[in-house]
Amino acid sequence: MVTACKPGIKQTSAGLKYFDLDGYFKNESARLTKANPSVNKSVTHNGVTESKKLHIENWNIELSLFRQSDINKPAWRNSYSVLKDSDLLIYKALEPELVTREILIKLADGKVKYMMIVNDTYDVNAKPRRDLQHYFYITREKLTYFPDSLYLVQKSQRVRFLGVNNYDIKGSLN
């Protein structure tokens, strides 16, 4: 028997369907490598911005933060709540120690139109998680992706005794 499935969605043993971020961004990397678009890329660190127009040599590396946010690990099959309708997928972490906190994917005709991922990393030795002032470090990433037009990495790091660093990386495809 042959069954059809939507590209980018995996069926887990628990019956939940998680979007395949790793596979999706592998395909995007291959597609963008072949298309070789020029990119207006800007990097901002604590308000200071540098911009360049360039061609990305390695899309696998460029999109690696997105791929690393994949939640399709057997140990996590019951670790995310799933909200799904015809054109929206939302995954939310149920356990406080999971780095990938939320994934929102907007679809149209079965294709990704927009994606946002929120990742939090913190000093795992600090307890409890909600008492943030006791952490040695906290990092929050917000990753945004619009196929064929824009990707954005917004990162904020707070390290006790060293302060806060904010980074924005924006790539506009031409």
Instruction: Look at residues 65, 64, 40 and name the one whose alpha carbon lies nearest to residue 143.
Output: 65
Contact between 37 and 173 under an 8 Å Cβ cutoff? The reply is yes
Q: Identify the domain containing residue 32 by its residue range.
A: 9-173
In a domain, 109, yes or no: yes
CB neighbourhood size of 39 (10 A)? 21
In a domain, 141, yes or no: yes
Per-residue pLDDT for 7 more than 60? no
Whole-number percent of the chain with pLDDT over 90: 64
Q: CA–CA separation, 87 vs 6, rounded Å?
A: 13
Give the pLDDT score at 93. Answer: 95
* Residue 119 bridge partners (DSSP): 100, 141
Q: CA–CA separation, 78 vs 49, rounded Å?
A: 41
Q: What's the pTM?
A: 0.83
Give the pair of three-digit tokens for residue 106: 């907007």
pLDDT digits (tens, 9 = 90+) for 108-122: 998 999 999 999 987
Per-residue pLDDT for 173 more than 50? yes
Type and span of the H or E element at 119: strand 111-122
In a domain, 2, yes or no: no
Overall domain count for the chain: 1
Type and span of the H or E element at 18: strand 17-19
In a domain, 140, yes or no: yes
In a domain, 114, yes or no: yes
Give the pair of three-digit tokens for residue 63: 């999109």
pLDDT digits (tens, 9 = 90+) for 127-149: 555 555 556 778 999 999 999 89
Q: CA–CA separation, 38 vs 164, rounded Å?
A: 32
In a domain, 1, yes or no: no
Give the pLDDT score at 86. Answer: 85
In a domain, 49, yes or no: yes
Give the pLDDT score at 161. Answer: 81
Q: CA–CA separation, 155 vs 166, rounded Å?
A: 6
Q: Which residues contact 49 (CB under 8 A, 6 or more apart)?
A: 42, 43
In a domain, 86, yes or no: yes
